[in-house]
Amino acid sequence: MPLNLSNLVAALNQFPAYHAIDVFADDLAELQQWPVSPNLQQLDAQGRSFLVTYQGKSFRLEIFPARGVVRLSKDGVPPATTRAVWDGLAGGLVQEAIAAARKQKGDGLLGGVLLGLLVGALLGGAAGDARRVFALTYDRASGQWRAYDGGLLRWMKAQLAVNAG
């Protein structure tokens, strides 16, 4: 059972000090649907950024195809600036991101565990792009996100953390 956008929004609501959550692209159900969910409105010509409206709030979904990662952030944009376009280019980037995620995770490495990385504010002035992050795992039984401090912590931070605004 993959994650849904509602699960990502729940993580941002549960941990309000963080502004974004990164997950593997192949773990997000809405990216595996065709046609794509009408809740995703393309924001750029490349098909890397989408407006997501959930329960009246706007979020931005960004795709990082080479990393196999998607980021849902609170910095959505007003619907007036959106373009409702889903073309072959956007679909290709999604498929590229899903393939990269599967490659990053390898064959059975995670055993079905769903991981997320909350992204917070920049750390200090001299730290460059370093941001505060918080590792999570999704507990299917309870439907809740939990802190993750298992043996894959360093690996998951390296895989999921993307440098973006």
| Cβ neighbours for 6, distance < 8 A, ≥ 6 positions apart | 54
- Please tell me the distance from the alpha carbon of residue 2 to that of residue 76, in angstroms, as a whole number: 23
The closest of 91, 122, 17, 8 to 54, measured between CA atoms, is 8
Parallel/antiparallel/unpaired status of strands 57-64 and 49-54:
antiparallel
- Please tell me the distance from the alpha carbon of residue 144 to that of residue 14, in angstroms, as a whole number: 9
pLDDT, tens only, 103-138: 877 766 566 788 888 888 766 654 556 568 889 999
Residues of the chain with pLDDT under 50: 80-89, 126, 165
Residue spans of the domains in the chain: they are: 5-160
pLDDT of residue 91: 58
